[in-house]
């Protein structure tokens, strides 16, 4: 509806000018305002449409000049020259705008294609786990963000990463590529998560410039049938949300806060791995700060732990979609920051009781 109104506005403006001039009677001389038509057409329309509006504005200006007995006179001629000049300028501006829009669309399509290649689809199943991912890109001019995630099935267990690169744009994508490339290799080769984290630190130390950094959390779920816990390694990232089979909910906070990746080789101690209960019937939700920092109209953050009951769909993708829709309702539209979520469940998952946090 809004697009249709903008498209009709040049014609409405010229019709209003013509009606006002006719109602005012001969001598009022509003025909210079016919230039509003091509001026507005150049803002939204294409070249052909702008040229059509310009021609119509010239025809109406001539008609009004005749009606006001100004055709052929100095004032009438000046009006026609002005309308013609604005029409030509609007046509040139339209051509330049369309060229810039085409260039921007091309750059965006290439960048988004690069990000899709980078954030390749994660497997729906990994070891004994079922996995689902939800990723929403921000509505900023730079649609490419720095959120990253990956799932690797290694001889040591299923290993997962979710992270957030400082900044946006192609530079953030390049940094995310470094992290993901290093993780895909290290997650398969290294015997434990601290060794994987050290590989990521070294990779970023070689590639990052200045004070750039990446927050991330690594997760390892061993392959054994008797597995009752998951190991986490947190590099300054929001703590995952753990939903137990009995309905209890808590954030899996690390024993101490540590610096993000890219800053850990500057004298600080690396994070320590810690275990969280993770048995059949449990869920582990990893996410980026675009989820918990989503604000509503009253500037309130999204209460993720209070929405854990939405993760009840037997299909993990359906469960994440329910949370995603709830976040959009919370903000009243689209997000202002990238938001990624990654849900881990065992294959024999069954719907738990309602979390205690839900009223």
Whether 123 has a pLDDT exceeding 90, the answer reads no
Please give the Cα distance from 163 to 148 (Å, whole number): 5
Mapping DSSP onto H, E and C, the string for the chain reads: CHHHHHHHHHHHHHHHHHHHHHHHCCCCCCHHHHHHHHHHHHHHCCHHHHHHHHHHHHHHHHHHHHHCCCCCCHHHHHHHHHHHHHHHHHHHHHHHHHHHHHHHHHHHHHHHHHHHHHCCCCCCEECCEEEEEEEECCCCCCCCCCEEEEEEEECCEEEEEEEEECCCCHHHHHHHHHHHHHHHHHHHHCCCHHHHHHHHHHHHHHHCCCCCCEEEEEEEECCCCCCCEEEEEEEECCCCEEECCCCCEEECCCCCCCCCECCCCCCCCCCCCEEEECCCCCEEEEECHHHHCCECCCCCECCHHHHHHHCCCCCHHHHHHHHHHHHHHHHCCCCCCCEEEEEEEECCCCCCCCCCCCC
The end-to-end CA distance of the chain, in Å, is: 40
Tell me, what's the pLDDT at 266?
Answer: 65
**119-346 CATH:** 3.60.40.10
Q: Provide mean pLDDT across the span 318-332.
A: 93
Is the Cβ–Cβ distance between 167 and 148 less than 8 Å? no
pLDDT at 253: 95
Q: Which pLDDT value is given to residue 146?
A: 79
If you average pLDDT over residues 113-140, what whole number do you get? 80
219, pLDDT greater than 90: yes
User: Among the ranges 22-36, 39-53, 102-116, 138-152, which has the highest mean pLDDT value?
Assistant: 39-53
**What are the C-alpha distances in Å from 106 to residues 7, 99, 242, 314?**
25, 11, 41, 40
Contacts of 94 by beta carbon, 8 Å cutoff, 6+ apart: 41, 42, 45, 46, 47, 50
pLDDT tens readout for residues 40-57? 888 877 888 888 888 888
Q: Which two tokens stand for residue 319?
A: 């469960």
What does pLDDT average to over the chain? 84
At residue 138, does pLDDT exceed 80? no
Share of the chain above pLDDT 90, in %: 40
Q: Is 288 in contact with 339 (CB distance < 8 Å)?
A: yes
Geometric angle at alpha carbon 231, from 226 and 235, rounded to 5°: 170
Greatest mean pLDDT among 126-130, 287-291, 351-355: 287-291
Q: Which residue has the higher pLDDT, 25 or 181?
A: 181
* Residues 82, 103: Cα–Cα separation, whole Å: 32
Per-residue pLDDT tens over the stretch 243-270:
998 889 999 999 998 999 988 766 678 8
- The pTM of the full predicted model, rounded to 2 decimals, is 0.70
Give the residue, 217 or 339, on which the prediction is more confident.
217
The pLDDT of residue 358 is: 46
| Spatial separation of the C-alpha atoms in residues 96 and 108, rounded to whole Å | 18
Average pLDDT over residues 24-43: 77
């Amino acid at each position: 509806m809004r697009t249709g109104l903008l498209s009709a506005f040049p014609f409405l403006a010229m019709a209003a000018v013509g009606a006002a001039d006719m109602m005012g009677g001969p001598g009022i001389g509003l025909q210079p305002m016919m230039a509003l038509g091509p001026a507005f057409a150049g803002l939204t329309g294409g070249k052909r449409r702008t040229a059509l509006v310009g021609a119509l504005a010239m025809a109406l200006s001539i008609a009004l000049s005749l009606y006001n007995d100004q055709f052929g006179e100095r004032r009438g001629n000046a009006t026609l020259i002005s309308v013609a000049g604005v029409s030509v300028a609007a046509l040139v501006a339209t051509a330049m705008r369309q060229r810039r829009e085409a260039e921007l669309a091309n750059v965006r399509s290439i960048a988004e294609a690069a990000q899709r290649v980078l954030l390749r689809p994660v497997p729906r199943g990994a070891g004994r786990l079922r996995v689902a991912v939800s990723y929403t890109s921000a509505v900023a001019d730079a649609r490419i963000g720095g959120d990253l995630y990956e799932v690797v099935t290694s001889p040591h267990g299923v290993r997962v990463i979710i992270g957030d690169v400082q900044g946006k744009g192609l530079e953030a994508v390049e940094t995310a590529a470094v992290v993901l490339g290093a993780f895909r290799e290290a997650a398969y080769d290294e015997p434990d998560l601290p060794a994987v984290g050290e590989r990521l630190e070294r990779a970023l130390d070689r590639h990052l410039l200045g004070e750039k950094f990446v927050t991330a959390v690594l997760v390892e779920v061993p392959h054994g049938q008797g597995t009752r816990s998951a190991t986490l390694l947190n590099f300054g990232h929001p703590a995952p949300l753990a939903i137990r089979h009995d309905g209890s909910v808590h954030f899996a906070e690390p024993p101490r806060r540590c610096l993000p990746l890219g800053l850990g080789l500057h004298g600080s101690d690396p994070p320590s791995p810690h275990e969280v209960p993770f048995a059949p019937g449990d869920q582990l939700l990893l996410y980026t700060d675009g989820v918990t920092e989503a604000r509503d109209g009253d500037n309130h953050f999204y209460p993720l732990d209070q929405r854990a009951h939405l993760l009840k769909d037997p299909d993990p993708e359906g469960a994440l979609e329910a949370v995603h829709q709830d976040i959009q309702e919370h903000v009243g539209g689209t997000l202002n920051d990238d938001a990624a979520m990654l849900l881990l469940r065992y294959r024999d998952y069954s719907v738990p009781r309602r979390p205690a946090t839900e009223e």
